[in-house]
């Protein structure tokens, strides 16, 4: 089992890239089924920075026309959530009257998703959907529908495939878990 050290913490392989790729294949099939033949151009909202790798992989698998818009929210410091969600960068394009698929790397507490759904409403999105690469069902206690989930995982701290520990580890192609 491969291990990596980032700053003061060691992580071990948790989900290999092949399993991530297969899960993205599966979630893309569901999204394509729901949006197949659509005449509008839905927006894929990339939630920076963590969702970049998932977004890039997912987009390659979608069969309908779509537009990419980005935003950046922050809620983490080190390995724990602060509980407060701040907008670090607003929407990069107008979403008024459009269908938006929010692309998240991970949903744990759900605070960010609640905030994003509110931002969609405030900015006039016709509809918004949530697509996440990873869901931590044990941590997620919000009353928000997660429309598309690639994988469910335990409530562990992970890095890799876009996810970071103090901005490190995003470039790892596998997902690693804290090795305690």
- In the set 8, 94, 105, 108, the catalytic residue is 108
User: CA-CA distance, 32 to 49, in Å (whole number)?
Assistant: 24
Within 13 Å, how many C-alpha atoms sit on residue 162's CB side? 21
- Based on the residue annotation, tell me whether 174 is a catalytic residue of this protein: no
Q: How many residues does the chain have?
A: 180
- Angle, vertex CA 37, rays to CA 35 and CA 40, nearest 5: 75
Radius of gyration of the chain (CA): 16
Cα-Cα-Cα-Cα dihedral of 26, 31, 32, 34, to 10°?
130
> Looking at the annotation, which residues are catalytic?
108
């Amino acid at each position: 089992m491969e291990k990596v050290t980032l700053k003061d913490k060691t992580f071990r392989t948790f989900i290999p890239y092949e399993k991530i790729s297969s899960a993205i294949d599966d979630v893309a099939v569901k999204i394509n089924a729901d949006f197949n033949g659509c005449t509008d151009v839905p927006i894929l909202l990339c939630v920076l920075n963590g969702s970049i790798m998932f977004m890039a992989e997912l987009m390659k698998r979608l069969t309908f026309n779509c537009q990419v818009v980005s935003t950046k929210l922050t809620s983490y410091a080190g390995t724990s959530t602060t509980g407060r969600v701040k907008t670090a960068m607003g929407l990069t394009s107008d979403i008024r009257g459009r269908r938006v698929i929010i692309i998240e790397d991970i949903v744990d507490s759900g605070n960010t998703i609640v905030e994003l759904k509110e931002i969609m409403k405030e900015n006039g999105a016709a509809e918004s959907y949530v697509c996440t690469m990873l869901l931590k069902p044990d941590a997620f206690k919000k009353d928000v529908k997660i429309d598309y989930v690639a994988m469910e995982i335990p409530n562990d701290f992970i890095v890799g495939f876009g996810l970071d520990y103090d901005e490190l580890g995003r470039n790892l192609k596998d997902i690693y878990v804290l090795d305690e």
